[in-house]
Amino acid sequence: PCPVFSLQVLAESNPGRLGWLWRWFDEVYAVLDLLLQQHYLATCSASFSENFYSLKRVPLRGRQRPALAAAGLPKKQHWRSLLLLVLVPYLKGKLERLVASLREEDEYSIHPPSSSWKRFYRAFLAAYPFVLMSWEGWFLVQQLCYILGKAQHHSPLLRLAGVRLVRLTAEDIQSLERKVPVRTAGQAHSITTRVQSAARRALGGIAFSLSSGLAVCVFFLQFLDWWYSSENQETIKSLTALPTPPPPLHLDHGEGSVLLPKLKTLCPLCRKVRVNATALSTSGFVFCYRCVYGYVKAHQRCPVTGYATELQHLVKLYSPES
């Protein structure tokens, strides 16, 4: 939510120059996610979220004693993990947007119903829910097997990457704290090495800031989610809205006044189900339009309360059914 909101604000502040950030949001986010995950996999043997929860990745078939987190993953597991961490969410998001656009196009399409293109994407739309159900079911079965102790990983993506998750040990934490990039004397004066070192330090600082501020961001986002939730908005409206005005207390049931029927759907004048419901703004009572129009025109007052009323005080009511 934070990157989405930030890019949206930037794009809206200067659409001419920064509008492309919103149009290419998926690609920009994927590149930033790639850099972030690459940094954490290389330095901590874990993704950004896994490192936040003090986890690390180790090869699925490796030595009895896993290597320290600072040592990094083997190249094969490293690149598999990086691709699955970045590419799978990117492709899934693109597929969801494609399905949404195809469904919208299917409703307003100008292609003839018998065209091959329309038959193709209708078949695709019909098959997509089953594909999505199979994908989610695969993950659910894997998680159940992990809970029951029948699997070493909770996600099929970890198995595809050839890794499993374990807790960081005290040795891992110590190795991560004292890990410092080593430079030789010959490399110290290389411009390329200096640029690479500066880029690593900048990326490391950004990653550290993100990791440190994640808890605060999560709390703030949860607070915003609660604040703008429909339940909370209803509570705020109930507390801040003006009270409903009470009905008239001094009903005039003298000569010429009518009594209210017991059923609220009946007109007080004709005692039948209201037709073309019309309210009087002076009293709030509802009648049939024809009944109340003739009465007000003849007597210039409300039939129930006796309040002075003119024809301009008639308010036509429209129900959703009409």
In a domain, 295, yes or no: yes
Mean pLDDT value of segment 170-199: 65
pLDDT value of residue 183: 43
pLDDT value of residue 247: 60
Query: Tokens 């209201």 belong to which residue?
Result: 274
In a domain, 145, yes or no: yes
Whether 280 contacts 293, CB under 8 Å: no
Mean pLDDT value of segment 143-166: 87
Residue 105, class by beta-carbon neighbours within 10 Å (0-12 exposed, 13-18 middle, 19+ buried)?
Answer: middle
pLDDT value of residue 240: 64
When pLDDT is cut at 50, 70 and 90, the band that residue 184 belongs to is very low
Lowest pLDDT segment from 174-183, 217-226, 309-318 = 174-183
CA dist list (Å): 272 to 17, 253, 258, 287, 311? 65, 20, 14, 10, 22
Same domain, 3 and 129: yes
Number of structural domains (the chain) is 2
pLDDT digits (tens, 9 = 90+) for 62-81: 556 677 777 778 888 889 99
pLDDT value of residue 181: 47
Structural domain containing residue 286? 262-321
CATH number at residue 268: 3.30.40.10
Mean pLDDT value of segment 181-205: 62
Mean pLDDT value of segment 98-111: 70
In a domain, 247, yes or no: no
What is the value of pTM for the model shown? 0.51
Same domain, 167 and 278: no
Q: What is the CA radius of gyration of the chain?
A: 34
pLDDT value of residue 182: 41
In a domain, 194, yes or no: no
Same domain, 171 and 268: no
Print burial letters for 117-140: b (CB count within 10 Å at least 16), e (below 16). ebeebeeeeeebeeeeeeeeeeee
In a domain, 115, yes or no: yes
Mean pLDDT value of segment 223-240: 68
